[in-house]
Amino acid sequence: MRSNANFFSDEKFRSIFFQTLVIGLFALGIYFVVQTTAYNLEKRNIATGWRFLTDPAGFDISFSPFINFKSTDTHLDVYFVGVLNTLLVSFCGCIAATILGFLVGIIRLSSNWLLVRVAYIYVEFTRNVPLLLQIILWYSILIQLPRVKQSLEFLDIFFISNRGIYSPRPIFENGFSYVFIAFVLALISSFILRRWAKKRQDNTGKQFPVTSSAFGMIIFVPLLLFFILGSPLSFDYPALKGFNFKGGMVIRPEFIAMFLALTIYTAAFISETVRSGILSVTKGQREASASLGLKKSWIMRLIIIPQALRVIVPPLTSQYLNLTKNSSLGIAVGYADLVHGFGGISLNQTGQAIECMVIVMATYLTISLTISVFMNIYNRSIQFKEK
């Protein structure tokens, strides 16, 4: 016969006991929170539910490049505008930060002492100052720009003022869709061409000028079609009427401040991962490829970068995730992203704190997971494959 004490020294029993205990405590905690919340909500006369999503929002959003938002639109529309604005600034920021980060990372390994020092100072200063401060600083610089009446002009079509950058808006006429289809087709066929050329090179050793032919295909075929169809594209130019510009399209200072700050901040971190990635490729690789007689540019492209990428991509992924999450700081300068538009203004107007926050958090989780999944697929494709 086993006594209770013996039961407890049995590992299997102990593990089941503790896990049941944890689940029980957790369920109890959830129960209490739900109870108190229901009581608190009732006391404050807040009705739960998702009905508020279809109520008219009643406020304007100054920056909504994809959806034409009016104040009579619903809170659900505010949500979509917010998601699109978050994605827009994150997407632009990720691309620009990658380019700038790679550039700075390579510069920091160059042989020019002065350039290396300047890059180092840039990295240290931007990394060690809070991002929020940088966003606010950029915004305060941008709103110091001249007023609309005295805006800086470029070629009479771009106008820079403290209300943003006004530029011509493209108007796509009938037939432009063919140009776009041609562009997509050219893009797909260049990929097929690349695979074919690689296969041929593997089998026969003959090379094919993939880059130039793909470039020609992507640029010239749509361009040719464009002129054949009689240039089905016109522009709506901004013009100063009264106190503001009419027509054209505008990039607001809130967006520019967010974009600049996110790019410059994240690029400093990316440059560090790029630098350590390139440094992780051993000197022997460089020497071996040089002794094989490869050109300098080939060594970088064919030997160093592919190996460095294996080290660079995982931290790069987390930088992209950071940038996307940091785009939520738009609230500090009034950029109508997910947190400011839906989690801020809509929440305050409707008082549906729990619903709004749940939606906002779930959306961010979805975006984060999506980026992780895609970057993991890319990461797997560049990892070392043993044959």
Which residues here bind other proteins, judged by CB under 8 A? 15, 18-19, 22-23, 26, 33, 36-37, 39-41, 111-115, 118, 124-125, 127-133, 136-137, 140, 325-326, 328-329, 331-332, 339, 343, 347, 353-354, 357, 360-361, 364-365, 368-369
Task: Report, in Å, the least distance between residue 133 CB and other proteins.
Answer: 6
Q: How far apart are CA 255 and CA 336, in angstroms?
A: 9
- C-alpha dihedral over 39, 41, 43, 47, to 10 degrees? -120
**Which amino acid is it at 256?**
I
Q: How far apart are CA 305 and CA 309, in angstroms?
A: 6
Cβ pair 185, 276 in contact under 8 A: no
Write out the E strands in 97-198. Answer: 152-154, 158-161, 164-167, 169-172
User: Collapsing DSSP states into helix, strand and coil, what is residue 172?
Assistant: strand
Task: Report, in Å, the least distance between residue 333 CB and other proteins.
Answer: 11
Task: Report, in Å, the least distance between residue 226 CB and other proteins.
Answer: 37
Task: Report, in Å, the least distance between residue 126 CB and other proteins.
Answer: 10
Q: Nearer Cβ to other proteins, position 42 or 173?
A: 42
Q: How many helices (H) and strands (E) does the chain have?
A: 13, 8
**Which amino acid is it at 119?**
A
CB proximity list for 150: less than 8 A, separation 6 or greater: 161
Task: Report, in Å, the least distance between residue 182 CB and other proteins.
Answer: 39
Cβ pair 379, 314 in contact under 8 A: yes
Q: Nearer Cβ to other proteins, position 101 or 343?
A: 343
Q: Nearer Cβ to other proteins, position 167 or 271?
A: 271
* Radius of gyration for the chain, computed over Cα atoms and rounded to the nearest angstrom: 28
Q: Nearer Cβ to other proteins, position 250 or 360?
A: 360
Task: Report, in Å, the least distance between residue 52 CB and other proteins.
Answer: 15
Q: How far apart are CA 148 and CA 161, in angstroms?
A: 5
User: Collapsing DSSP states into helix, strand and coil, what is residue 56?
Assistant: strand
Task: Report, in Å, the least distance between residue 366 CB and other proteins.
Answer: 9
Task: Report, in Å, the least distance between residue 355 CB and other proteins.
Answer: 11
User: Collapsing DSSP states into helix, strand and coil, what is residue 161?
Assistant: strand
Q: Nearer Cβ to other proteins, position 252 or 340?
A: 340
Task: Report, in Å, the least distance between residue 38 CB and other proteins.
Answer: 10
Q: How far apart are CA 168 and CA 171, in angstroms?
A: 9
Q: Nearer Cβ to other proteins, position 217 or 339?
A: 339
Q: Nearer Cβ to other proteins, position 37 or 71?
A: 37
Q: Nearer Cβ to other proteins, position 219 or 361?
A: 361
User: Collapsing DSSP states into helix, strand and coil, what is residue 302?
Assistant: helix
Q: Nearer Cβ to other proteins, position 132 or 249?
A: 132
Write out the E strands in the chain. Answer: 152-154, 158-161, 164-167, 169-172, 233-236, 239-241, 244-246, 249-251
